[in-house]
Structure 1
Amino acid sequence: MKHPHLFIAGALLLSAGATASASVLPDCDRSDVISRVTRTISVAEQNVVQSGDPVKQIDHIRQSKLRDNGPRYVAQRFCRATGYTEQGRKKNIYYLIEAKAGFAGYGYAVEACITGRDPWKLHGAYCRSLR
């Protein structure tokens, strides 16, 4: 290899980019993230679930997993929260914040699921893909 220092520099840049992407992800409890989660579950309630008992409050927000490097090279923050419906029922809410998934690959996207309220199993049984 003629220029091994170029290879090492390139490898360092790639690894720095993979781990630095987690820093662009907002925390699970950031207000704009919670707003997106609320909007997602509200639209699902109105158009698909139609339970008649929508989630009105979200708390106990926490991160459950972080993937910020490795073969995917797309940072993902997995979160969970407790939701309370109008009738006071407790629901587990799982959501994913994914980097480079916004419009044209900029920003981040949020996917959300409530256990027992995913009739088409978009996120697998019991929201498995978002856990």
Structure 2
Amino acid sequence: MRDLFTSLKKPGLGAALAMLFGLLSLGEPAQAANPLELNFWLSGPRYDGRVAECERALGTITHQFWEKESTFWNSGLQITAYGQVHETAFRPWQSDNIPRRYCSAEAMLSDGKVRAVHYSIIEDGGFAGYDQGVEWCVVGLDRNWAFSPNCRAARP
């Protein structure tokens, strides 16, 4: 600290700092944005509410389930068939939210067990907001507890 004050006593460095602070204090005061700078024409996302039917997501769920089980859990489980596919809700909340179609089905797994699958199809929910996305959960196989308990968070 002592070295800092002794170095400021030198005429060149002290004068340079004084000039720098003087220039910074002479800047213009802040002003409010003019109407063109207010993002006047950006009104936000516009959703059409066109979300695919429940059956259209089953291929995606089958592929993603196989990929998750084989890659992360070292399991040979696969979904072999679906039954009782039905919609449980469509846009269950306010209309300003992202449109979702909630569905449920029964899935036959390669181990011979039938398990419930709860999933939602989300408008603009795909990679980088392009296309529709699918979030799903197989009851009893939510091993990382992402939708626990019993896939309740995957339902409306």
Rg (Cα) greater in structure:
2
Contact 2:104 2:117 in 1 (8 A): yes
What number of residue pairs does the alignment pair up? Answer: 111
Provide the residue aligned with 2:134 in structure 1: 110
The amino acid that maps onto 2:72 is: V
Structure number with the higher helix fraction is 1
**Alpha-carbon deviations, 1:91-127, whole Å to 9, x = none?**
1011111112123323210011101101111112111
Q: Normalising to structure 2: TM-score of the pair?
A: 0.62
Structure number with the higher strand fraction is 1
Provide the residue aligned with 1:11 in structure 2: none
The amino acid that maps onto 1:60 is: Q
- What is the alpha-carbon root mean square deviation over aligned residues? 2.3
The amino acid that maps onto 1:28 is: C
The amino acid that maps onto 2:150 is: Y
Asked which structure has the greater RCO (Cα within 8 Å, sep 6+), the reply is: 1
Kindly state the Cα deviation for residue 77 of structure 1 after the two structures are TM-superposed: 0.8
Contact 1:75 1:98 in 2 (8 A): yes
Provide the residue aligned with 1:26 in structure 2: 52
**Structure 1 residues 67 and 25, CA gap change in structure 2 (3 angstroms):** same
Q: Given the alignment, which residue of 18, 26, 39 partners 2:63? A: 39
1:88 and 2:109 matched = no
Q: Given the alignment, which residue of 121, 126, 151 partners 1:97? A: 121
Q: Normalising to structure 1: TM-score of the pair?
A: 0.72
Contact 2:62 2:78 in 1 (8 A): no
